Amino acid sequence: MTIPTVPSLVVPEVCSRWLESRGLIYQLLVDFYGRKPSLSLVAQWSRNREMSIAAEMTEGGRELKRYLCSQEPAMLPAICEKEKLEYKRLMNERAASTFVAREAAQLGREEEFCNVLSDVYASAGIVFKKCSGEADDHIAIELEFMAVLHERMLYNSFSIRSAMELLEIQENFLEEHLLKWTPQFCERLNAATDSPLYLGLSHMLEEFLPQDLHMLRAWKASLESSAAAMV
């Protein structure tokens, strides 16, 4: 993937590698937290060369890569059926469980976040097509918001100012939403399952989000230096 830039925007190598990988990681997390793991989904990610590189960013990613890539093709249908049942057990909001993949439920503030998040998404010009009626504070929807903003940041013809605006929306969303509740979500997920798939996803999520915020801040500092140099 090529990082599009304007001539005046210098992207440090470490930021370039991170930018090339983060969108794939967000999309993988959206896919597996947002729907049951179908055979086509598992095959898609186990064969994705770019994802193989991106997985090296976290130990959880390496766990997931080992699990997805080590399966014999003949075993995949049975594995997918097992993981589908695990997804249904874990992600069933009607189950009598404290484990729910939503921000409001994890923080004990039911109903508060849906209106707040709806306004956040609308202010960024993003409307989601929710095939299964997901709430705005569902883990997959919040992660997809980050994935969409990442794509906009890369593929729009942007100036430093517009890059900074998109960066700051993501930085604020991580600080005010995802990083406030996903550590607890991951802790509960780790305790609720012994599935290599969902443990790998949980470990990947809890490692990646703080790392992503750190890199956003590093890139922001780089952009600010570039802008200052132009004055």
Structure tokens that stand for 230 in this block: 């132009």
CA–CA separation, 94 vs 102, rounded Å? 13
Tens digits of per-residue pLDDT, 138-161?
999 999 999 999 998 887 655 777
Segment 92-119, tens digit of pLDDT? 755 545 567 888 877 766 656 667 888 8
Residues 6+ positions from 21 with CB-CB distance below 8 Å: 50, 53, 54, 57
- pLDDT at residue 220 tops 90: no
Report pTM: 0.87
